[in-house]
């Protein structure tokens, strides 16, 4: 055991030397554009609460009402006694919201993809994965036992070459809808066309698109006006939706199959019903108030215009995820600390979360931000660019 601990201690030291050691920060109080971290208040551009709903009074009131009705915990798996009427209603409303026949609720997006992929494909089948897909899609594909083929980011031509040569009985194309570290949108119409041409399924992880893209925030499929029984749509509920959890929607038969076979659904305690109550309030807000998405688009345009002349590369993105690539790990940390000293919190993202040589500041915008707060960030980065370039 001492030898093992010494080995791990040395590995941690190596991470520190490479400027790759992560540090957890303690948040005191609610999420919002102003965040209290380690006892100090910052202007925060680090949250996935893209619509600023995490503390909305309607969600809080709905959670309280559900708490009074259902109590705190679900206390059992969904297939025993944990599936509440609140979650049943939520699944029905989610399916209608994204325009699909049926939906199934999961504890998290990670749990969803870890269950979906192995339930659909296995040994002898093939999963085709974008190189920049989220870790849960990658891990779900590896867990399935299917052949795992990676295609270059958003490279539809290369993907078609791989599909044309493939003879697997089941083929699954897996992609983020919005890529979490770059902020760009997958070419979903072209991917669906390949599915139809080569008899494949399309799994879209829309963790960062649900609530943001498309009419009323109905997601990346609605953004492109896409609908097909070949598509399984996974959306998370802890980002723009402001609460917690995830769901997968699609053909009713496929959803029933997932209910019967997805291990991460079957063998886990169901989520607390009070979360479903809050999420039902979210769906009502999305369908009746679209000013948040409009304001968010204005903030995105303002930020991009203000950062256009920086010496670092701002990746193309029309979403709240704005990636400022500075390449060097230490520079990313230096800029993060420079912003922190100015009362602004923006995380430095380094490998292995992003490819080697693409360290960056990941700027997350929210509809809760003001134009003046965006200008504060722009001015701070302009100052830092003079000092660090």
Active site residue 220: no
For residue 388, the model assigns a pLDDT of 85
For residue 29, the model assigns a pLDDT of 86
d(CA 76, CA 247): 19
Average pLDDT over residues 153-170: 98
Quick check: 110 pLDDT over 90? yes
Active site residue 171: no
The pLDDT > 70 percentage for the chain reads 100
Average pLDDT over residues 380-387: 95
The end-to-end CA distance of the chain, in Å, is 46
d(CA 369, CA 105): 30
For residue 23, the model assigns a pLDDT of 83
Q: Pick 57-288's CATH classification: 3.40.50.720, 3.40.50.150, 3.40.640.10, 2.40.50.140.
A: 3.40.640.10
Q: Which of the following is catalytic: 180, 271, 364, 366?
A: 180
Confidence of residue 18 (pLDDT cuts 50, 70, 90): confident
Q: Which of the following is catalytic: 105, 208, 295, 369?
A: 208
Closest CA to 33 of 363, 366, 292: 366
Helices (H), 246-290: 252-261, 263-266, 273-288
Element (H, E) at 322: strand 321-327
Average pLDDT over residues 23-52: 92
Quick check: 200 pLDDT over 80? yes
Q: What is the DSSP string of 56-84?
A: -HHHHHHHHHHHHHH-S---SBIIIII--
Quick check: 149 pLDDT over 80? yes
The domain segmentation of the chain, as residue ranges, is 20-49+290-387, 57-288
User: Residues comprising the binding site for pyridoxal 5'-phosphate?
Assistant: 109-110, 180, 208, 236
CATH topology of domain 20-49+290-387: 3.90.1150
The 8-class DSSP code of residue 296 comes to H
Average pLDDT over residues 154-160: 98
Per-residue pLDDT tens for 298-339?
A: 999 999 999 999 999 999 999 999 999 999 999 999 999 999
Average pLDDT over residues 52-61: 97
Closest CA to 113 of 174, 189, 169, 48: 174
DSSP 3-state assignment of 291? helix
Residue 165 φ/ψ, nearest 5 degrees: -90, -10
Quick check: 92 pLDDT over 80? yes
Is pTM beyond 0.75 here?
Answer: yes
Per-residue pLDDT tens for 267-289?
A: 999 999 999 999 999 999 999 99
Among 10-19, 92-101, 157-166, 215-224, which is the least confidently predicted range? 10-19
For residue 3, the model assigns a pLDDT of 86
Confidence of residue 189 (pLDDT cuts 50, 70, 90): very high
262 preceded by a cis bond (ω within 30 of 0): no
For residue 21, the model assigns a pLDDT of 85
d(CA 7, CA 20): 17
For residue 301, the model assigns a pLDDT of 98
Q: In what order do the strands lie in the sheet with 246-250?
A: 102-106, 246-250, 231-236, 201-205, 171-176, 126-130, 147-151
Beta-sheet pairing, 348-349 with 147-151: unpaired
Active site residue 153: no
Buried b (16+ CB within 10 A) or exposed e, 340-372: eebebbbbbbbeebbeeebbbbbbbbbbbbeee
User: Residues comprising the binding site for substrate?
Assistant: 22, 134, 353
CB–CB of 137/205 below 8 Å? yes
Average pLDDT over residues 138-158: 98
The pLDDT > 90 percentage for the chain reads 92
Query: Fold match between 20-49+290-387 and 57-288?
Result: no
């Amino acid at each position: 055991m001492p030898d093992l601990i010494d080995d791990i201690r040395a590995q941690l030291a190596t991470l520190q030397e490479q400027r790759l050691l992560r540090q957890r920060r303690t948040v005191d109080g609610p999420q919002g554009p102003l965040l209290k971290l380690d006892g100090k208040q910052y202007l925060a551009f680090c949250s996935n609460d893209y619509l600023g709903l995490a503390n909305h009074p309607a969600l809080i009131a709905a959670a309280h009402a559900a708490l009074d009705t259902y109590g705190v915990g679900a206390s059992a798996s969904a297939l025993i006694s944990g599936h509440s009427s609140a979650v049943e209603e939520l699944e029905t409303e989610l399916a209608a919201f994204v325009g699909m026949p049926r939906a199934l609720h999961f504890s998290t997006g990670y749990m969803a993809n870890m269950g979906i992929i192995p339930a659909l494909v296995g040994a002898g089948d093939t999963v085709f994965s974008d190189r920049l897909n989220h870790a849960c899609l990658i891990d779900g594909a590896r867990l399935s036992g299917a052949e795992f083929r990676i295609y270059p980011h958003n490279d539809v031509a290369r993907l078609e070459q791989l599909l044309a040569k493939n003879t697997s009985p089941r083929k699954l194309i897996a992609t983020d809808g919005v890529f979490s570290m770059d902020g760009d949108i997958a070419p979903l119409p072209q991917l669906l066309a390949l599915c139809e041409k080569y008899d494949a399924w399309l799994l879209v992880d829309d963790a960062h698109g649900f609530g943001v893209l498309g009419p009323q925030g109905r997601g990346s499929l609605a953004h492109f006006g896409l609908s097909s029984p070949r598509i399984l749509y996974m959306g998370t509920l802890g980002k723009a939706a402001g609460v917690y959890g995830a769901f997968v929607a699609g053909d009713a038969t496929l959803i029933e199959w997932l209910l019967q076979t997805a291990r991460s659904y079957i063998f886990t305690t169901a989520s607390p019903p009070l979360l479903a109550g809050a999420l039902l309030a979210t769906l009502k807000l999305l369908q009746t108030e679209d000013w948040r998405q409009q304001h968010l688009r204005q903030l995105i345009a303002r930020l991009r215009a203000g950062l256009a002349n920086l010496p670092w590369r701002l990746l193309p993105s029309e979403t709240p995820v704005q990636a400022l690539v500075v390449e060097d790990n230490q520079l990313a940390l230096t800029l993060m600390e420079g912003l922190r000293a100015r009362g602004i919190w923006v995380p430095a993202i380094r490998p292995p979360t992003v490819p080697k040589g693409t360290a960056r500041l990941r700027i997350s915008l929210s509809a809760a931000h003001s134009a003046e707060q965006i200008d504060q960030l722009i001015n701070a980065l302009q100052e830092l660019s003079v000092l660090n370039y």
